[in-house]
């Protein structure tokens, strides 16, 4: 009989923990994502949530890190921007010769990096072109069917660093709407 009570207690505890985590995760998800459907959660722990949301041709990847200080958030954001910029830096050709000594990328392929203040939040974002594998870094028109942005912002109320990536076909006009809805007070 004691075994049955033990099993019931464990079941209730695990169920309660799952319920608490699902409420906690739901509260940390930015409200603008409610119009999108979660199709894959890559990671869902107490310290981080990473997932892919989809609506029509629009895809949004989120990476929400909990328990992050403002200085840590700034350092992580700076490192990610530095890595993004490095993709587009001029490089010495692996086989320098008569045709080229340097590999460079046309300015039109480089992302525009900006900072804005909206919804009581400072947001750093990079707008640009994306490959069909949803990455930046290509420098050829044929490899860039999508456009989008990567945005980073820290929320003081929750001590979370949010990274939001939106990728859409080039002809889509929803990017500015989503970008304008980012922030902590939404």
- The secondary structure of the chain as a DSSP string is -HHHHHHHHHHHHHHHHHHHHHHHHHHHS-GGGGGSEEEEEEEE-SSEEEEEEEETTEEEEEEEE-S--HHHHHHHHHHHHHHHHHTTS-EE-SS--SS-SEE---GGGSPEEEEEEETTEEEEEEEEEE-TTS-S---SGGG--EEEEEEEEEETTTTEEEEEEEEEETT---HHHHHHT-SS--
Task: Report yes or no on 115 lying in a domain.
Answer: yes
Q: DSSP string covering 67-90, please? A: S--HHHHHHHHHHHHHHHHHTTS-
What are the φ and ψ backbone dihedral angles of 14, each rounded to 5 degrees?
-65, -45
Q: What is residue 108's predicted lDDT score, i.e. its pLDDT?
A: 92
Task: Report yes or no on 132 lying in a domain.
Answer: yes
Owner of token pair 């075994």: 3
Residue 87, exposed/middle/buried by CB under 10 A (0-12, 13-18, 19+)?
Answer: middle
Q: How many domains does the chain have?
A: 1
Q: What is residue 43's predicted lDDT score, i.e. its pLDDT?
A: 94
Task: Report yes or no on 56 lying in a domain.
Answer: yes
Q: What is residue 24's predicted lDDT score, i.e. its pLDDT?
A: 43
Chain mean pLDDT for the chain: 84
Task: Report yes or no on 127 lying in a domain.
Answer: yes
Distance of CA 175 to the CA centre of its chain: 14
pTM for this entry? 0.80
The CATH number assigned to the domain holding 132 equals: 3.40.1000
What are the φ and ψ backbone dihedral angles of 152, each rounded to 5 degrees?
-130, 135
Weakly modelled stretches of the chain, pLDDT under 70: 1-29, 98, 185-186
CA–CA distance, 86 with 79 (Å, rounded to integer): 10
Instruction: Domain of residue 80: give its range.
Output: 30-180
Q: What is residue 164's predicted lDDT score, i.e. its pLDDT?
A: 95
Q: What is residue 3's predicted lDDT score, i.e. its pLDDT?
A: 56
Task: Report yes or no on 79 lying in a domain.
Answer: yes
Task: Report yes or no on 35 lying in a domain.
Answer: yes
Task: Report yes or no on 4 lying in a domain.
Answer: no
Task: Report yes or no on 137 lying in a domain.
Answer: yes
């Amino acid at each position: 009989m004691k075994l049955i009570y033990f099993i019931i207690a464990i079941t209730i505890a695990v169920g309660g923990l799952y319920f608490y985590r699902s409420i906690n995760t739901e509260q940390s998800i930015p409200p603008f994502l409610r119009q999108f459907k979660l199709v894959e959660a890559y990671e869902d722990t107490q310290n981080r949530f990473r997932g892919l949301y989809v609506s029509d041709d629009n895809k949004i990847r989120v990476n929400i890190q909990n328990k992050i200080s403002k200085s840590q958030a700034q350092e992580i954001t700076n490192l990610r921007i530095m890595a993004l910029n490095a993709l587009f830096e001029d490089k010495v050709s692996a086989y320098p010769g008569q045709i080229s000594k340097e590999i460079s990328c046309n300015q039109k392929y480089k992302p525009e990096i900006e900072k804005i203040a909206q919804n009581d939040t400072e947001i750093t974002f990079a707008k640009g072109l994306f490959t069909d594998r949803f990455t930046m870094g290509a420098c050829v028109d044929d490899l860039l069917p999508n456009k989008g942005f990567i945005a980073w912002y820290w929320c003081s109320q929750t001590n979370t660093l949010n990274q939001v990536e939106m990728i859409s076909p080039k002809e889509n006009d929803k990017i500015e709407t989503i970008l304008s809805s980012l922030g902590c007070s939404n």
